[in-house]
Amino acid sequence: MERLPGFRDFYPEPLPSKDAWSADARRYLFDSWRSVARRYGFREYDGPPLEPLELYTAKSGDEIVGQLYNFVDKGDRAVAMRPEMTPTLARMVAAHQRNYPKPIKWFSIPQLFRYERQQKGRLREHFQLNADVFGENDRAADAELIALLIDSLRSLGLTEADFVVRLSSRNAWQEFFTRGGGTPESSYAFFQVIDKLEREQESESAAKLASLGFSLEAVKGFIAAAQPTEELQQILGNLEARGLKEFIKIDYNVIRGLAYYTGPVFEAFDRKGEFRAIAGGGRYDNLVKLVSGGRVELPALGFGMGDVVLMELLRARGKLPAFTSGVEVYCLVEEESRRPAALRMVQALRDAGRAVEYPLTPAKPDKQFKRAMELGARWVVQPEMLADGTFQARVKELSTRQERTVPLSELVASLQAV
Q: Which of 114, 139, 208, 396 binds ligand HAM (CB under 6 A)?
A: 114
Least distance in Å: CB of 121 to ligand HAM?
6
| 28-36, 115-123, 334-342, 352-360 -> range binding ligand HAM (CB under 6 A) | 115-123
C-alpha distances in Å from residue 344, one per residue of 331, 333, 386, 391, 398: 10, 12, 16, 11, 22
What residues between 283 and 302 interact with ligand HAM by CB under 6 A? 302
Can you spell out the DSSP letters for 268-309?
Answer: EEETT--S--SEEEEE-TTHHHHHTTTS----EEEEEEEHHH
Binding string, residues 308-347; x marks residues near ligand HAM by CB under 6 A: xx--------------------------------------
Buried b (16+ CB within 10 A) or exposed e, 268-284: bbbeeeebbbbbbbbbb
391 binds ligand HAM (CB under 6 A): no
Q: Sheet containing 50-52: give its strands across.
A: 50-52, 78-81, 70-72
Count of chain residues binding ligand HAM (CB under 6 A): 23
Of residues 57, 281, 69, the one with CA closest to residue 166: 281
Q: Which of 29, 37, 59, 86 binds ligand HAM (CB under 6 A)?
A: 86
Q: Which of 306, 329, 332, 415 binds ligand HAM (CB under 6 A)?
A: 306
103 binds ligand HAM (CB under 6 A): no
Least distance in Å: CB of 82 to ligand HAM?
10
Buried b (16+ CB within 10 A) or exposed e, 26-42: bebbeebbeebbeebeb
Tell me the C-alpha distance between 287 and 299, whole Å: 8
Are the C-beta atoms of 257 and 63 separated by less than 8 Å? yes
Report which residue's Cβ sits closest to ligand HAM.
306
Centroid of chain to Cα 356 = 30
Q: Which is nearer to ligand HAM, 212 or 320 (CB)?
A: 320
What residues between 224 and 283 interact with ligand HAM by CB under 6 A? 258, 277-281
Q: Which is nearer to ligand HAM, 308 or 332 (CB)?
A: 308
Tell me the C-alpha distance between 382 and 405, whole Å: 10
Binding string, residues 122-151; x marks residues near ligand HAM by CB under 6 A: xx--x-x-x-x-------------------
Instruction: State the pairing for strand pair 125-134/300-306.
Output: antiparallel
Least distance in Å: CB of 137 to ligand HAM?
16
Binding site for ligand HAM (CB under 6 A): 84-86, 114, 116, 122-123, 126, 128, 130, 132, 258, 277-281, 302-304, 306, 308-309
